[in-house]
Amino acid sequence: MRFNPDIHRRRSVRLKRWDYASRGAYFVTVCAHGRECVFGEVRSGRVVLNGADKIVESAWNDLPLHYPRVELDVFVVMPNHVHGILIIGRGLSVGARHASPLQKMPRGPKRGSVGAIVGSFKSAATRRVNTLRKTPGLPLWQRNYYEHIIRGEAEINRAREYVLHNPLKWLEDENHPENAMNRP
């Protein structure tokens, strides 16, 4: 197979002028490297995890210690990915705002942004899990992550429901190893 640069070119799905450090709620999904089931398994709709899951959960729960503007909502560790809702800013009004069209967006994640917060989480969890597994330098997470800006109470309630019920739908989950052939 020949290399096709159009297929392998990374393209951001983030909104170009959106201020991802602004007050709002964000649904986040982070997948394990190669979607490997490193955190455990699902049995009868319940997540049965190993020691690595506790480390990942702890890294998530520590985020407000490093980012005082961050509040955590629901969160679940699945065998090969995590879902969670981050809320940035006190006195939340659900939703976020656009950056000024004249404002130049810096390269890399803005301090206190969803990208910086997720990067910090991934780094802390990787360091701790690799210490547990005695695998220094081994990647734990895929390079990127998925986020969705939550707009409104109905949407945050749907996102919460999705996170909380994700273990029950593991067999249909696109991240389930047996569903890998259905991924693009």
Model pLDDT, residue 4: 37
| 135 part of a folded domain | yes
| 3 part of a folded domain | no
Can you give the residue range of the structural domain that contains 94? 12-172
Model pLDDT, residue 184: 55
What percentage of the chain has pLDDT greater than the value 90? 64
User: Residue 81's closest CA among 45, 119, 31?
Assistant: 31
| 179 part of a folded domain | no
Which two structure tokens, joined as six digits, stand for 106?
């810096």
Q: Which residues pair with 87 in a beta bridge?
A: 25, 71
| 16 part of a folded domain | yes
Write down the residue that tokens 């990127």 correspond to.
144
| 167 part of a folded domain | yes
Which tens digits make up the pLDDT trace of 4-36? 334 434 445 566 677 788 899 999 999 999 999
Model pLDDT, residue 16: 67
Give dist(CA 121, CA 115) in Å, integer: 10
- Residue 127 vs residues 52, 76, 118, 130, 138: alpha-carbon distances, Å: 11, 20, 14, 5, 9
| 1 part of a folded domain | no
Looking at per-residue pLDDT, the higher value among 7 and 149 belongs to 149
| 181 part of a folded domain | no
Which two structure tokens, joined as six digits, stand for 93?
């009004």
State phi, psi for 170 to the nearest 5 degrees.
-55, -40
Sign of the dihedral defined by the CA atoms of residues 29, 32, 34, 39, in that order: negative
Q: How many domains does the chain have?
A: 1
| CATH number for the domain that contains residue 46 | 3.30.70.1290
| 114 part of a folded domain | yes
Give dist(CA 138, CA 135) in Å, integer: 6
156, containing H or E segment: helix 153-165
Which tens digits make up the pLDDT trace of 102-141? 445 555 667 889 999 999 999 999 999 999 999 999 999 9
